[in-house]
Structure 1
Amino acid sequence: MGEKLREESYLAGEGLATAIFLALKLQKPLFLEGEAGVGKTEVAKVLSRMLETPLIRLQCYEGIDVNQAVYEWDYARQLLHIRTAEALGTTGGDRSRLEDELYTRQFLVQRPLLQAIEHRGENPPILLIDEVDRADDEFEAFLLEILSDYSVTIPEIGTVRAERPPVAILTSNRTREVHDALKRRCLYFFIDHPDLEREVEIVRLRVPDAEERLTRQVAKAVQRLRSMDLYKPPGVAETLDWTEALVALGAKELNEDLIEATMGSVLKYHEDQQRVLLQSLSLLAGS
């Protein structure tokens, strides 16, 4: 599994590769937790490419509900249908028949969870439930129900059940603790920031145009940034962004001027940038 992931430019440790393999083999959801930017969402994208199947993404946020996650009715089209029927006089005075027509597949809008359940492709889709920690407790309980049997009941239509369960990947940035019941339903893996050598290898793999000296300097600099008391320490995503920015500028090695000019690629909060500037940039440039 590790080699297959590497072929898709994703460098996974043995633990993560094993967790992904078991999730596929046992058809269980995989819950990935860790700081932002460590590669949780990328796992779903890589699996989509590797298995040649669609990626269906549900981005969670505060206040998300069934209408945004599963389905809703196209009220604009329903209203248009009513007005058209009345204008053409096709209702025949039978309002109940007209109302029945409104709640059919014709007017049903599929949202990500229903799309994943009803998918009929050659392979089951990858269902990415991203940043589940941003949703509230009620939605979390609803997700637990969905992940138990991959079915949903639409009162006007009936119960829709997946022929083959999607490959579910849940991610959390740990902005709050997710309930144990949801975690117990899944295989769990915590993705931490990589050590120096692994980060160097990731940069080599993802930004092959970077000079070897620059690659190692950037990785060391990011490791030092993470050791500082920053509001938002950079993740691997920022390491790659920074390297790509430096390569685009034709940089061969890191220096203080380049660090100051490209700091926005690696530190996304003004307060963090100011804190680094107050310290000696030579500590980073001399990596």
Structure 2
Amino acid sequence: MALPTSIDDVQKVLGGQGYVCGRGLATVVFLSLKLGRPLFLEGEAGVGKTEIAKAISAALGRRLIRLQCYEGLDASSAVYEWNFPAQMVAIRTAEAAGGADRETLQDELFGPDYLIERPLLQAMRPDANGAPVLLIDELDRTDEPFEAFLLEALSDYQVTIPELGTIVAPEAPIVILTSNRTREVHDALKRRCLYHWVDYPDFDREIEILSARAPEASESLSREIVAFVQALRTEDLFKKPGVAETIDWAKCLLALDVINLSPEVISDTLGAILKYQDDIAKLQGSEAKRLLDEARASLEPV
């Protein structure tokens, strides 16, 4: 599929994948695609940063390549590794056969047949369907040396393998970086990207998202769910629920054939929206009823 030609087009194609996109986010996605610039998305966990990469990939029919970041991630793990077990088998086979030419063997051992491609190298390869979508997820979990490496790799869209030389992408991949802001990412990397803060949606937007992702839920139940979750986000919690938790909770309630929320149902299903025991303990008993009453009071008649 061709790239979207307008901001409205971005909203339409993402909406076709069940991703409800506000105009601000649609604008920065459009510019990223049109200008070929990496897109850096920051925000709380569960607000849809990772999902937008999946939606873009599906909408455009492009391959999605995901680099999940973690503490200690280094360039070799992100770019390539050599298949050492297969290399050892080849060496022993050559020795057993006798008369193996050392130089020829070395060229074979460090050739494409023994190369294990990791996400960054995969993203530099040509693809018949067009440049892939490269998702560099939770960049804030890595350290500054890896950021510095990314700065170079994403500037020229190339990586260097000492044994094979420099590999340049024939077409720049669509790059989306995400961060939950557990630490600040260096300004030098941010300057190479278009930036957008993905916030919690307002009530109407979250209703729209829930309708797209859990259409089986009735309008009245959806309104109660969203109103309760939004009231919950105003509480002093260790981890506030994101949109992903709203959707998960709705699906759990549907599986239980719940028609309307009640304090008992909320207490029984808190594990779908809260992921820390201290937060769950705060909502036990009368607190769940208080928040539910506040949520219902905030709802206008349909």
Letter aligned with residue 40 of structure 1: K
Q: How far 1:165 sits from its partner (Å)? A: 0.5
What are the superposed Cα offsets for residues 246-270 of structure 1, whole Å, 9 maximum, x if unpaired? 0111111100111011110000111
Work out which of the residue numbers 70, 73, 98 in structure 1 matches 2:79: 70
Match of 1:19 in 2: 28
Q: For the Cα contact (< 8 Å) 2:61–2:129, is it kept in 1?
A: no
Q: How far 1:284 sits from its partner (Å)? A: 3.2
Match of 2:52 in 1: 43
Match of 1:109 in 2: 116
In the alignment, does 2:223 pair up with 1:216?
yes
Q: How far 1:57 sits from its partner (Å)? A: 0.1
Counterparts of 1:1-287 in structure 2, within 5 Å, are 1-91=10-100, 94-277=101-284, 279-286=286-293, 287=296
What are the superposed Cα offsets for residues 202-243 of structure 1, whole Å, 9 maximum, x if unpaired? 111111100111101110111111101000000000000000
Q: How far 1:13 sits from its partner (Å)? A: 0.6
Letter aligned with residue 202 of structure 1: I
Q: How far 1:64 sits from its partner (Å)? A: 0.3
CA distance in 1, matches of 2:211, 2:110: 54
Q: How far 1:98 sits from its partner (Å)? A: 2.1
CA distance in 2, matches of 1:229, 1:241: 22
Q: Which runs of 5+ in 1 are unaligned?
A: none
Letter aligned with residue 67 of structure 2: L
Letter aligned with residue 193 of structure 2: C
CA distance in 1, matches of 2:72, 2:131: 28
Q: How far 1:279 sits from its partner (Å)? A: 4.9
Q: How far 1:105 sits from its partner (Å)? A: 0.7
Query: Structure 1 residues 35-44 or 272-281, which shifts more?
Result: 272-281
Q: How far 1:150 sits from its partner (Å)? A: 0.6
Letter aligned with residue 131 of structure 1: E
Residues 258 and 45 from structure 1, CA distance in 2 versus in 1: closer, same or farther, beyond 3 angstroms? Answer: same
Q: Secondary structure at the match of 1:62?
A: coil
Q: How far 1:49 sits from its partner (Å)? A: 0.5
Q: TM-score, normalised by structure 2?
A: 0.92
Query: Structure 1 residues 150-159 or 29-38, which shifts more?
Result: 150-159
Q: How far 1:113 sits from its partner (Å)? A: 0.3
Q: Secondary structure at the match of 2:73?
A: coil
CA distance in 2, matches of 1:28, 1:154: 24
Q: Which runs of 5+ in 2 are unaligned?
A: 1-9, 297-302
Letter aligned with residue 64 of structure 2: L
Q: How far 1:140 sits from its partner (Å)? A: 0.4
CA distance in 2, matches of 1:163, 1:170: 21
CA distance in 2, matches of 1:153, 1:119: 16
Q: For the Cα contact (< 8 Å) 2:267–2:283, is it kept in 1?
A: no
CA distance in 1, matches of 2:256, 2:138: 33
Q: How far 1:90 sits from its partner (Å)? A: 4.2
Match of 2:7 in 1: none
CA distance in 2, matches of 1:21, 1:285: 39
Q: TM-score, normalised by structure 1?
A: 0.97
Q: How far 1:278 sits from its partner (Å)? A: 5.6
Match of 2:4 in 1: none
Structural RMSD (CA): 1.0
